[in-house]
A and B are shown apart, each in its own frame.
Chain A
């Protein structure tokens, strides 16, 4: 295939309720090549999870207004009907979550659910589907996979369940995997196992991955490219090294400075002042301006342009300054 696998242009998501309108995503553009891993980094309310869910049209249709253009593997996602969506979800794109119990039905065995998913998307019999389920459980390194086929989700430990959910998501060999903080609820020693497993499976299956996380370290471990979100927009993007080492936007700069790591004992943390913006009352200019050290009147009144810093490295800022770390 030529051209990008995923292309998102001007994606906006509004949530409407009787009291207020929440501007969750405010014009997100990005493209993803087949087999590429994009880390979407942001804090709560930055719009990272909403962007991900919009790619699968998982947001409640009655309260949500989606606009923009989202194309995944040739499918125009925002105009698909229910039937097309069913084939698309799980077949072309699948998703893993923070809480694996959400992905599984507690009353069926793990093996049956994986086999079920395979039969829904491919023209194969039950025996072949179960064979695929077993193969998948082995590929995600679940010990004694054969026995685990007949286990119920609640009989597995946290890390095991996460692996089983990955097996379920990859059973139909999707071209794109969406990962919504899949390791956040896990213990440290288990988290690293899952991250390494995902990296390995990504190479093996050659699929593209969008990995949403709030943890810089996790994003570094999995991403080829990274995009940092704030106030429903991508404020900086580039290779992982660009974003971590040659950070240009004041928000990721502040985020990196305030993230505790290594031997920082005795030094005062450079915290970003203030709190994230209220998404129902977005400022007119740069969303980060109220918290930014460098903000001037332009920042507060005019939306910032995209500044190209290097090939593929862009920041949405009136005065980007690369700070080398």
Chain B
């Protein structure tokens, strides 16, 4: 490794392997919609409304959900591009922004993000080299070392530094630009990378290249990923655990095989059976659920999925279901009244 940035407290692993790299507790973000002459708040988008989850060291947590489910807001909260209204984010056991916790600037070195739009996320006036070396320079690395690091990273993401350092973003293809964005995110040697729809805008043949690259980098650098996508196939391929979000809340979370093989939430089931068939002789015959996802402004009360759920009962509209472990699998949790014995739903785990 080339010359290093001044060391911070969290550079070494403090909490030990059992301590989750990221712990999210009760995270809330509401966006007010201002309007009228007096610019008063007329409505609130409940983008993220009380979510809890952990990301273990070295794993990939996939987050799936439809538009408006809050997955992108979650990504921005994790890298603190926006501040949460409530809840806490612990990085390796340290509270971010707190007195005895981890300084925000320090946290930025450890948590980085790759955006969906490969073009908008690169400054059109900067060369590739300047874009990648910007972060290290901000953290005090000399110009020469920062440039050396940019070349090293380009090599690592599969771009020949001699050909690319002096290029501008518009001279690159979408796949190449996304590689540069990945290199930029790695420039501060982070431990956690948030990938927000990072491959969604790429063509399939290029997407596969970038997915391979992400897997290689993870193994080489011992990274932890939060992989956000609307593509269930890609999330299944990348993730160790998967979190399904619906309208700002967690619907289900668990190991990838449990989520895809034994989904417990009716929404997860619907999402999985809505995937187009790849078999011309076994095309989908019936849509799993009807209607559009409701607007996150004034979402339904109780379980937010109850308006589209085939098993909806009065209790679903009345009470918010807690995220609770599925019987027999402590790692697999679901927020559904049918999962909880005695919840008042006729199809509870016991009754069914």
Does B287 sit at the interface, judged by CB under 8 A?
yes
A195-B276 contact, Cβ under 8 Å, with A265-B236, A265-B256: yes
For B233, the chain A residues whose CB sits under 8 A away are 259-262
For A188, the chain B residues whose CB sits under 8 A away are 66, 230, 232, 271, 274-275
Q: How far is the CA of A215 from the CA of B207 in the complex (A)?
A: 12
Q: Across the two chains, which residue of chain A brings its CB closest to B267?
A: A189
Does B12 sit at the interface, judged by CB under 8 A?
no
Does A179 sit at the interface, judged by CB under 8 A?
no
Of residues 57 to 86 in B, which have CB atoms within 8 Å of A's CB atoms? 66-67
For A276, the chain B residues whose CB sits under 8 A away are 173, 203, 205
Checking A43, A196, A215, A254 against B284 with a beta-carbon cut-off of 8 angstroms, the contacting residue is A196
Of residues 215 to 257 in B, which have CB atoms within 8 Å of A's CB atoms? 215, 230-234, 236-237, 256
Q: How large is the interface on A (under 10, 10 to 19, 20 to 34, 35 or more residues)?
A: 35 or more
Q: Is the CB of A189 within 8 A of B289?
A: yes
Interface positions of A (Cβ within 8 A of B): 43-44, 157-160, 187-193, 195-196, 214-218, 220-221, 223, 239-241, 244-245, 254-255, 257-265, 268-273, 275-276
* Min CB–CB distance B310 → chain A (angstroms): 12
Does B291 sit at the interface, judged by CB under 8 A?
yes
Q: Is the CB of A187 within 8 A of B276?
A: no
Q: Is the CB of A271 within 8 A of B212?
A: yes
For A270, the chain B residues whose CB sits under 8 A away are 208
A196-B287 contact, Cβ under 8 Å, with A220-B278, A244-B280, A260-B233: yes
For A265, the chain B residues whose CB sits under 8 A away are 236-237, 256
* Min CB–CB distance A291 → chain B (angstroms): 8
Q: How far is the CA of A107 from the CA of B136 in the complex (A)?
A: 51
Does B101 sit at the interface, judged by CB under 8 A?
no
Does B325 sit at the interface, judged by CB under 8 A?
no
* Min CB–CB distance A188 → chain B (angstroms): 5
Q: Across the two chains, which residue of chain B brings its CB closest to A216?
A: B278
* Min CB–CB distance A19 → chain B (angstroms): 13
Q: How far is the CA of A157 from the CA of B206 in the complex (A)?
A: 32
* Min CB–CB distance A147 → chain B (angstroms): 16
Does B290 sit at the interface, judged by CB under 8 A?
yes
* Min CB–CB distance B64 → chain A (angstroms): 9
Q: How large is the interface on B (under 10, 10 to 19, 20 to 34, 35 or more residues)?
A: 35 or more
* Min CB–CB distance A55 → chain B (angstroms): 23
A220-B204 contact, Cβ under 8 Å, with A193-B287, A196-B287, A271-B212: no
Q: Across the two chains, which residue of chain B brings its CB closest to A270?
A: B208
For B230, the chain A residues whose CB sits under 8 A away are 187-188
Q: How far is the CA of A257 from the CA of B208 in the complex (A)?
A: 9
Q: Is the CB of B237 within 8 A of A264?
A: yes
Q: Is the CB of A220 within 8 A of B277?
A: yes
Q: How far is the CA of A103 from the CA of B299 in the complex (A)?
A: 29
Checking B231, B271, B292 against A157 with a beta-carbon cut-off of 8 angstroms, the contacting residue is B292
Q: Is the CB of A44 within 8 A of B203?
A: yes
* Min CB–CB distance B206 → chain A (angstroms): 7
Does B161 sit at the interface, judged by CB under 8 A?
no
* Min CB–CB distance B203 → chain A (angstroms): 4
A190-B211 contact, Cβ under 8 Å, with A220-B276, A244-B278, A263-B236: no
For A220, the chain B residues whose CB sits under 8 A away are 276-280, 283
Q: List 14 A-B contacts (CB under 8 A).
A: A43-B203, A159-B292, A188-B230, A188-B232, A189-B66, A189-B289, A190-B66, A193-B287, A195-B284, A196-B286, A221-B277, A244-B279, A244-B280, A258-B205
Q: Across the two chains, which residue of chain B brings its CB closest to A191?
A: B274
For B165, the chain A residues whose CB sits under 8 A away are none
Supplied contacts A220-B279, A260-B234, 10 more A-B pairs, CB within 8 Å:
A187-B230, A187-B292, A187-B293, A217-B277, A220-B277, A239-B280, A240-B280, A259-B204, A265-B236, A275-B206
A214-B203 contact, Cβ under 8 Å, with A189-B271, A275-B176: yes
Checking B174, B271, B276 against A217 with a beta-carbon cut-off of 8 angstroms, the contacting residue is B276
* Min CB–CB distance B125 → chain A (angstroms): 21
Q: Is the CB of A217 within 8 A of B287?
A: no
Checking B211, B212, B293 against A189 with a beta-carbon cut-off of 8 angstroms, the contacting residue is B293
Q: How far is the CA of A259 from the CA of B280 in the complex (A)?
A: 16
* Min CB–CB distance B195 → chain A (angstroms): 15
For B270, the chain A residues whose CB sits under 8 A away are 189
Does B97 sit at the interface, judged by CB under 8 A?
no
For A189, the chain B residues whose CB sits under 8 A away are 66, 270-271, 274, 287-289, 293
Q: Across the two chains, which residue of chain A brings its CB closest to B260?
A: A263
**5 residue pairs, one from A and one from B, having the closest CB atoms:** A217-B276, A258-B208, A187-B66, A271-B208, A240-B280
For B212, the chain A residues whose CB sits under 8 A away are 268-269, 271
* Min CB–CB distance A141 → chain B (angstroms): 8
Q: Is the CB of B208 within 8 A of A260?
A: yes
Q: Is the CB of A218 within 8 A of B276?
A: yes
Q: How far is the CA of A189 from the CA of B215 in the complex (A)?
A: 29
Q: How far is the CA of A227 from the CA of B55 in the complex (A)?
A: 43
Of residues 179 to 220 in B, which have CB atoms within 8 Å of A's CB atoms? 203-209, 211-212, 215
Q: Across the two chains, which residue of chain B brings its CB closest to A276?
A: B203
For A221, the chain B residues whose CB sits under 8 A away are 276-277, 283-284
Q: How far is the CA of A271 from the CA of B291 in the complex (A)?
A: 36
Does B175 sit at the interface, judged by CB under 8 A?
yes
Q: Is the CB of A159 within 8 A of B291?
A: yes
Most central of A159, A261, A270 by chain B CB within 10 Å: A261
* Min CB–CB distance B218 → chain A (angstroms): 13
* Min CB–CB distance A270 → chain B (angstroms): 7
Q: Is the CB of B205 within 8 A of A271?
A: yes
* Min CB–CB distance A110 → chain B (angstroms): 16
Checking A190, A254, A257, A263 against B292 with a beta-carbon cut-off of 8 angstroms, the contacting residue is A190
